[in-house]
Amino acid sequence: MKKSNKMADSNIAQVKYYLWLLEQHGVENPTGILEYPKLRQTQPVDLTAEDRARIPLELEAMKVLLADDVPCPPVIDKPFCKQCAYYEFCYVAE
């Protein structure tokens, strides 16, 4: 369930990652549903063969980023940054 008032690709990616994890732990054919109460909409989410191939590659790319001395990109300082859930994370060194 997402409290946001807009649908985003990142929401789908998050659910697909959870579905992939369930498969890795032996759950067969898991499916998910994203619910947006403010929009009064639901969206089914399924894991495709393409997702199954892409997710491990993305995890490896994340490991490479985390192993870097400076894993975070530079601060972009846009107006929407102040509303972001990760605001403190980006501005911790400032």
How would you write the pLDDT of the chain (94 residues) with one tens digit per residue?
777 767 788 889 999 999 999 999 999 999 999 998 888 889 999 999 999 999 999 999 989 888 887 766 777 878 888 888 888 877 766 5
Tell me, yes or no, whether 14 lies in a domain: yes
Tell me, yes or no, whether 57 lies in a domain: yes
SS3 (DSSP) at 34? strand
Tell me, yes or no, whether 51 lies in a domain: yes
Residue of 54, 51, 58, 45 whose CA lies nearest to 15? 45
Structure tokens given for 90: 């980006």
Tell me, yes or no, whether 20 lies in a domain: yes
Amino acid (1-letter code) at residue 73? P
Tell me, yes or no, whether 1 lies in a domain: no
Specify the residue for token string 């009064």.
40
Please give the pLDDT value at position 49.
Answer: 96
State which residues form the domain around 70: 9-90
Question: Are 10 and 2 contacting, i.e. CB atoms less than 8 angstroms apart?
Answer: no
- Total number of domains in the chain: 1
